[in-house]
Chain A
Amino acid sequence: MEKFGFFISKGRQINYDSNDRSIAEYIYEREPSFRRCIECGGCSATCTTGSMTKFSLRELHILIKRGENDKVMESLKKCMLCGKCILVCPRGVNTRNIVVLAKQAFQKSAAYAI
């Protein structure tokens, strides 16, 4: 990578040109209902984990979709797979499979090797 002689701070924008959306693609392919999410927050409102710690499935969805993947994996682990979110989601998103697939995608992807 080219280095300039001065420091460029990472922009605050979501860099849609360079962000890595492979995780999202991995999920889309295996769980198409991921595309149906409208970010209503029903899942995160009812969430067992979300009531005890900072964790929002809705937020994770949008971060993955935008390729803002840093720290997502750490968060995903907190899900208890309890299934409440599936029961409230108005769009019939198969939320738990998304959590599992996202974890899988991160594990498989060399870029996020832990």
Chain B
Amino acid sequence: MSKHVVVIGGGVAGLEAAGRLSREGLDVSLLEKDSITGGHLNRWFKLFPDRRDSSEVKDYLEGLTHANNVKLFTNVTIEKLNRDKDHFSVLTNDGKELIADAVVVATGFDLFKSSRKEEYGYGIYDNVITSADLEDMFRKGEITAADGTVPKKIGIVHCVGSRDEKAGNLYCSKLCCVTAVKQAIEIREHYPESTLFCFYMDMRMGGAYYEEMYREAQEVWSVNFIRGKVSEASETIDKKVVIKVEDTLAGRPLKMTLDLLILMAGMEMSEGGIKLAGLAGLKTGDNRFFEATDHHFGSNKSNVEGLFYAGTCTSPMNITETISHARAAVSEVVDYLKNS
């Protein structure tokens, strides 16, 4: 009888891991809390840096799981996860108990809830939206201000909920800078008359072709970059957003009225992940993400034998890195099952 592996989370990492494990001849169950798989891919429209459609990646991932007969359980959450001797018992909210020889945790990340940065007015001012809201607009094919008009002057705030002691997150989410650049270009493509401003503390464009995108945004799309942390936003009578920032390079405070303000929400450990950490006694770090046993050569290993991590439940990653990390988790699982 082939060994059974439970994969928790049906996002990029979970799909990749489940499909590959199945291909290795293992019996795989994939548990997803939503009704569909794909995780954050379902919300994102185009991906950086090549601007390909996110559905292409999703199709690849789901194709992988379908072709390999992964057993998929949707709308399930975990109520209990115990390790007895050499196997795991996973209890779900619908009362099922799955017995597994190994577990892969791929619970991913949550987007920072931007309303927590109250001074930016998300949820208070109509024309303050998040990067995810903007992707929704891209999907619908129309980018509008709250009153349905075309926004002309648009601001993008970097580091919302990342690198911010007040938000409780000291780390850099790594991908929001490039997301900001990508989204700025997309808006400019959509509305050539619009003017775009990115307000950043540092531009962190560390990835293949990211810096090139940054240059393109400046050269081709005339996106303006202003170095300064936006301190607060307020609203005018006609629902425009006024931001306050210091143009630190000019050394002067700057005030700007915008039709739309987009907040680059950072990545946080998912709520599901935090719950799971409590249930299974998994170690989390100061940043609340799962803490792998070794940052260099054990980034998939947890403090529980036979339980492995895949993807952004351990730290912010882009899709390329997530898929690589999931594949590494697969090889850890295979190794583990061979030796046990």
**Interfacial chain A residues near B254, Cβ < 8 Å:** 45
A50 CA to B230 CA, complexed, in Å: 14
A76 CA to B63 CA, complexed, in Å: 64
**Interfacial chain B residues near A39, Cβ < 8 Å:** 248
- Selected from B163, B164, B245, B253, the residue in CB contact (under 8 A) with A56 is B253
Interface residues of B in 95-120 (CB under 8 A from A): 119
With known contacts A90-B163, A90-B166, A91-B165, A46–B248 Cβ distance under 8 A: no
**Interfacial chain B residues near A40, Cβ < 8 Å:** 201, 228-229, 248
Which residue of chain B has the shortest Cβ distance to A38 in the bound complex? B201
**Interfacial chain B residues near A89, Cβ < 8 Å:** 165-166
Q: Say yes or no: A45 contacts B251, CB within 8 Å.
A: no
What mask results when residues 30 to 66 of chain A are scored 1 for a CB within 8 Å of chain B, else 0? 0000000011111111110011000010110000000
With known contacts A38-B201, A40-B248, A46-B244, A92–B166 Cβ distance under 8 A: yes
Chain A interface size, under 10 / 10 to 19 / 20 to 34 / 35 or more: 20 to 34
What mask results when residues 224 to 245 of chain B are scored 1 for a CB within 8 Å of chain A, else 0? 0001111110000000000011
**Interfacial chain B residues near A91, Cβ < 8 Å:** 165
With known contacts A56-B253, A90-B159, A46–B231 Cβ distance under 8 A: yes
**Interfacial chain B residues near A92, Cβ < 8 Å:** 165-166
**Interfacial chain B residues near A41, Cβ < 8 Å:** 227-229, 245-248
- Selected from A43, A47, A51, A59, the residue in CB contact (under 8 A) with B251 is A59
- Selected from A38, A45, A87, A90, the residue in CB contact (under 8 A) with B246 is A45
Give chain A nearest CB distance to B203 CB in angstroms: 13
With known contacts A42-B229, A42-B231, A90-B229, A58–B248 Cβ distance under 8 A: yes
Interface residues of B in 235-274 (CB under 8 A from A): 244-248, 251-254
Q: Say yes or no: A45 contacts B245, CB within 8 Å.
A: yes
Q: Say yes or no: A90 contacts B165, CB within 8 Å.
A: yes
A38 CA to B251 CA, complexed, in Å: 14
Give chain B nearest CB distance to A27 CB in angstroms: 19
**Interfacial chain A residues near B163, Cβ < 8 Å:** 90
Closest 5 CB pairs of A and B: A41-B246, A46-B231, A92-B165, A45-B231, A42-B229
Write 29 A-B pairs (CB below 8 A) sorted by A numbering: A38-B201, A40-B228, A40-B248, A41-B227, A41-B228, A41-B229, A41-B245, A41-B248, A42-B228, A42-B230, A45-B230, A45-B232, A45-B245, A45-B254, A46-B231, A56-B253, A58-B246, A58-B248, A59-B251, A87-B119, A87-B166, A89-B166, A90-B163, A90-B164, A90-B165, A90-B166, A90-B201, A92-B165, A92-B166
- Since A44-B246, A59-B251 are in contact, a sample of 15 more A-B pairs with Cβ atoms closer than 8 Å, ordered by chain A residue number, is A40-B201, A41-B229, A42-B230, A45-B229, A45-B231, A45-B244, A45-B246, A45-B253, A46-B231, A46-B244, A50-B246, A56-B253, A58-B246, A90-B164, A90-B166
Which A residues lie at the B interface, using CB under 8 A? 38-47, 50-51, 56, 58-59, 87-92
